[in-house]
Structures are given as C-alpha cells and as structure tokens.
Homo-oligomer: A and B are copies of this chain.
C-alpha cells in the first residue's frame, strides 16, 4: 500500500476532473499542474501549484520543456525504500510525486483533422509520455492514470485503502500506461511511414484500438476481438444480430472483391471468405440474380455485397433467400424496410468505409508475414493472346474480368463465366484438375445456357498439363485465360489451336492460399 501525498495532473481530456479533485482533496493530496489543466483546476475551485513555481524553472519555449526537470522526475522515479534516494531528494529539496495523471490528446485525431504537417509535428507530446513512462516504470511506488476511464477505479482504490493504492492496482495501471505510450508512438511512426511510403522497415509496430469484444472467434470456444487503427471502421449496421468473427471475415473478403469490380454494377456472394457467385450488370437486379444463380445452394447463409445502392426490387429478391449479411453502398429507405422484415438479418451500409486493403499481414508463432495486397487493377498490357483465334474486344474484357474474380478464389482457383457472371467456381483443391471438375460440376448443375453466350474460364495459375484445359474445353468452354509459365505452355497453345478456342496468357500469377 502506498499513500498518495502529491499528484501531478496534466490532462488533455478534462472530463470528470472535478470528481477526481474532490476525492484527492478529501485525502489531502497536494496537486501540481500547468497550462490548461492548471486553469481548469483553479476554475473548479481547487488548490494547485503551478509546475514552473514548483520546479523554480521558468516555463520556456512555449511550454515545450516545463515538466522535463529533475525535480519532477526525481520525484517520480525515486525508490521510496532506498535510503540513498531519500537522502538525495532531501539534499536537493525535491519531494516524492506519488500519483501521475496524464492523458494525451489522441495523435490519430490530429492526423485525421489536419493535413498541415508542421502543425501535426508540433502536437507531438514529449513531456507527457516521459512522465507516464517514469511513473509506470516506478509502479512499485507510484500510481499512473492515463485515461479518464480509470478515475472511478482510482477513486475506489483511495476509498477502500484510505488514501492509498495497492500494488496490484499500480501494476495494472502501469501495464496500461506502457501500452498507451507504445500506441502513441506507433501512431506517430505510422504517420511518418505513410508519408515516406517505405514499407519494409527494420522494425514494424502495428497498433489498434479495441472496437468490439466479439461474442467468440471462429468457433464458440475461441475468444476474439476486433481492433482498428481507426476509431470507427466505417461500417454502419442498420439491422440484425451482432456481427460475429466469421461475419467480419466474410465482410472484409467480400468488400475486397466488390472494390475490384467496375463501380456501381457488381454483386459478390461470399461463403467462408471464398466467392461462390460474382456478377456485374448495369441492371442492379440482374447483377444480384446472376451472382445468386452461380451457386444458389452455396449462397444459402452467405454474405452478399453490392457495390451500389440496394433498391426495393433487389431487396424483394434478396428476401427470398437466407443470408447472414447483406452489404450495400447505401440502402434505399424502402429497400431497408423490406429487408428489416427479417429481424436477424445483418444489414450493412459500407458507404463510409474509406480504407483500401493495401497490406496483407499473416501472424503465426510470434512471426508475421507482410505483403502488398494483390489488388492492382488489370489493364490489357497484363495479357497476351497466344492462340490463333483472337478474342473480340468484348471477349477480351470478359476474360480480364473473369481473371480478376479468379484471383480472389482460394487454392487453385478456377472460374467459369458467361462473361458477366460466374457460372462455376472451383476452389480449395490441392490439384488444379480437381478445381476444374468442381467448377464444371457447379456449372452443369445450375447453369442454363443462353444460345448467344460464350462460356469462358480463368485459372489463377498456369495449367501444368493439358488435362485441365482439355476438361474445360470438353465442358464447352470457348476461351481461357491463365498465367504463362508451364514447361508445357507450347503444348497447351497447340491444343488450344487444335480445339479452335481462344487462349490468353497473363503475365502475372495470382495465388491466394
């Protein structure tokens, strides 16, 4: 137990200061402060010594160095059970400071609100984090409070322990304090890194604020939480049950795909973070219906994401199926009304979500793999027609968009499409031929051929043998896009020419494991 005799208060967030001062006064705690906090304390009618008066050092450089003084830091850092320390404090006329209450103005808010680099830099707090770190280091003797949230805990401590705090409490507050300073500097570091765009530094620090403790993780026995570098992730839930861990995973997966599609015409249906139907159509209702038609059985219980505003006619169609989550860039008022008839259906408006998915980070065994995401938009420069038969410009466009969908399909992705919509997706197979067969069986099950349509296919990586392509051609595929790279590429081109199909090679491979 440590008695609180002297406290230093310097807070950006002045909320509940009165509550705290009332309690500190009750236990006869001396208070030191400066600047805005000093003014606020006086305004609230409490006694307080100004830091410059306390240290005897004038406040200079617009307050940049006021607390960086031995009298402050010796007061915080001295060991109370060390005779040498006690003597040295006395000799220098220094006193022990037992409580440090400091909260920082959130640096992320400064970055959000301002684009003035000089002003942003000016806001970096030097004195505050130093006091917090000093107090946190010396938690054996000193209490540090870094957030208004813990005022009530402090008040309870003081009440229960008659003006003292317990070691457990001080240690807990110290832990939180080091997370605060690490977080603060991580935000600064990522602000600088973002500006300089150098990605693979010698050290990386990643930070997030708790957005929500989730009911559970991928499975009910796993604890889970959602963090973000933003205070608000920009997803507005308009209806339905709480979002689960798996919902978030599927939402992010579907948004990655949605954002890769041409604007305002794409629908994606995702199951287990894998697409089971993707379609683009200027007619929004048809866009949705075609995505659903790709694999209506798998779509059951899936997540639908439209990269346009959901209207009433789509809402009526969507209501006929069971989905976990429906996402739109806005939802028309009446459409929302219709969808809300399903009480549990999670409805998300993603209009406010601004962040792009630049980096992919995978954690394992205390290590993490970082990579740039595979989401660069394709241009025709990425592709080369290698067959004798040449695609029309429309066909080429369809092949490119089918290939784009294919890069979001996991493990030996094969996508068969009618141009605008997927009609068979094969995924999750250790063998490419197996994926072809799965895609074909989906197509045969659900697709009703329209006479004018050419069926086309994309593969995320090259075919190692002719067999995969052969299987697709036998199933009716008329044009194929795949990365080059097999030692049998020539054989594959020859086969394509024999079969009189269009074969296009991509310069880039698009594994997603």
A residues at B contact (CB < 8 Å): 57-58, 60-62, 64-65, 68-70, 72-74, 77-79, 84-85, 88-89, 92, 121, 124, 126, 129-130, 133-134, 137, 139-140, 147, 149, 171-172, 174-176, 178-186, 188-189, 192-193, 196, 199-211, 213-214, 217-230, 233, 245-246, 248-250, 252, 255-256, 271-274, 276, 295, 297-298, 302, 353, 355-357, 359-374, 376, 410-412, 427-431, 434, 438, 508-513
C-alpha gap A134/B186 in the complex (Å): 16
Pair A178/B204 contact, Cβ less than 8 Å: no
Say yes or no: A411-B274 contact (C-beta < 8 A), given A129-B133, A218-B511, A220-B508: yes
Which of B68, B70, B182 is within 8 Å of A185, CB to CB? B182
Report chain B residues within 8 Å CB of A58. Answer: 92
C-alpha gap A201/B62 in the complex (Å): 35
Which residue from chain B places its CB closest to the CB of A137 in the assembled complex? B124
Say yes or no: A205-B219 contact (C-beta < 8 A), given A130-B130, A228-B367, A365-B355: no
Report chain B residues within 8 Å CB of A252. Answer: 364-365, 367
Pair A126/B430 contact, Cβ less than 8 Å: no
Report chain B residues within 8 Å CB of A228. Answer: 366-368
Which of B77, B139, B298, B434 is within 8 Å of A438, CB to CB? B434
- Please give the distance in Å from A67's CB to the nearest CB on chain B: 9
Chain A binding surface, main DSSP class: mixed
C-alpha gap A192/B371 in the complex (Å): 29
Report chain B residues within 8 Å CB of A509. Answer: 219-220
- Please give the distance in Å from A62's CB to the nearest CB on chain B: 8
Report chain B residues within 8 Å CB of A61. Answer: 74, 77-79, 84-85, 88
C-alpha gap A214/B370 in the complex (Å): 10
- Please give the distance in Å from A179's CB to the nearest CB on chain B: 4
Pair B411/A272 contact, Cβ less than 8 Å: yes
Pair B374/A222 contact, Cβ less than 8 Å: yes
Say yes or no: A227-B73 contact (C-beta < 8 A), given A188-B178, A205-B186: no
Pair B200/A189 contact, Cβ less than 8 Å: no
Say yes or no: A133-B137 contact (C-beta < 8 A), given A88-B60, A192-B178, A196-B175: no
Pair B196/A172 contact, Cβ less than 8 Å: yes
Report chain B residues within 8 Å CB of A431. Answer: 297-298
- Please give the distance in Å from A42's CB to the nearest CB on chain B: 24
Pair B130/A374 contact, Cβ less than 8 Å: no
Pair A219/B298 contact, Cβ less than 8 Å: no
Which of B74, B133, B372 is within 8 Å of A224, CB to CB? B372
- Please give the distance in Å from A125's CB to the nearest CB on chain B: 9
Which of B223, B249, B355 is within 8 Å of A200, CB to CB? B223
Pair B60/A298 contact, Cβ less than 8 Å: no
C-alpha gap A170/B374 in the complex (Å): 33
Pair A245/B365 contact, Cβ less than 8 Å: no
Which of B182, B227, B365 is within 8 Å of A357, CB to CB? B365
The 6 closest A-B pairs by CB, nearest first: A428-B428, A217-B371, A298-B430, A182-B185, A252-B364, A224-B371
Report chain B residues within 8 Å CB of A65. Answer: 70, 73-74, 77
